[in-house]
């Protein structure tokens, strides 16, 4: 959902309240001009005069129309000074947890116990066998999902290689 906007001119619009920080120079916008379609532009400046923020677009931007209803703004950069917070998935507290795990099985075994720690009951599992002579010809292993952090792969014969697990929510 966009931000309600009011047409001022082909290269300007206003939004209610002080939104100068959001509508900063060089940020891209997408304007919904109803029956006239979406118009795209780049912000050249914005200023607040109670109760509205007026936003001006560069000369090369699409012309806005009087059917303008709402605007959307794009990402400048990530981080504290950008428009999108840094968001990663790893083992750190509050990160949302890791999303993938690569298990290495260097020794030949018919059963692999994979402790992935993804906190996801049924991750997607991809097996890469080390013996290239049987690649694509081996029986796919039986997968037993032991818990939200562990699974067991059972092969018809001893195999070595890798297991890539992808979780999600």
Please indicate, yes or no, whether residues 67 and 104 belong to a single structural domain of this protein.
no
The partner residues of 78 in beta bridges, in order of sequence, read 84
pTM: 0.48
Please indicate, yes or no, whether residues 62 and 118 belong to a single structural domain of this protein.
no
Please indicate, yes or no, whether residues 113 and 67 belong to a single structural domain of this protein.
no
8: left (phi over 0), alpha (psi -120 to 50) or beta: alpha
Domain that holds residue 25: 3-73
Please indicate, yes or no, whether residues 107 and 59 belong to a single structural domain of this protein.
no
> What is the rounded average pLDDT of the residues 153-159?
89
Residue 91 covered by a domain: no
Please indicate, yes or no, whether residues 61 and 105 belong to a single structural domain of this protein.
no
Residue 138 covered by a domain: yes
Note the Cα 157 to chain centre separation in Å.
40
In tens, the pLDDT along 85-95 reads 555 556 555 55
Beta carbons within 10 angstroms of residue 112's beta carbon: 21
Residue 88 covered by a domain: no
Residue 93 covered by a domain: no
Last residue of a domain, which of 73, 91, 117?
A: 73
Residue 138's pLDDT band, with cuts at 50, 70 and 90, is: low
In the chain, how many domains are there? 2
In tens, the pLDDT along 18-77 reads 999 889 888 888 999 999 999 998 899 999 999 999 999 999 889 999 999 999 887 665
């Amino acid at each position: 959902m966009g931000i309600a906007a009011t047409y001022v001119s082909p290269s300007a619009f206003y939004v209610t309240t002080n939104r100068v920080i959001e509508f900063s120079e060089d940020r891209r916008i997408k304007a919904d001009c109803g029956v006239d379609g979406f118009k795209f532009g780049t912000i050249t400046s914005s200023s607040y005069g109670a109760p509205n923020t007026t936003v001006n677009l560069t000369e090369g931007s699409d012309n806005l129309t009087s059917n303008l209803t709402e605007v959307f703004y794009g990402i400048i950069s990530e981080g504290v000074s950008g428009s999108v917070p840094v968001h990663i998935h790893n083992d750190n507290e509050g990160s949302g947890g890791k999303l993938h795990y690569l298990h290495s099985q260097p020794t030949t075994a018919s059963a692999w116990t994979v402790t992935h720690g993804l906190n996801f009951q049924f991750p997607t599992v991809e097996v890469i066998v080390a013996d290239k002579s049987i690649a694509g010809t081996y029986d796919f292993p039986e997968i037993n999902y032991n818990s939200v952090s562990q699974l067991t792969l059972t092969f018809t014969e001893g195999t070595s290689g890798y297991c890539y697990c992808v979780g999600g929510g």
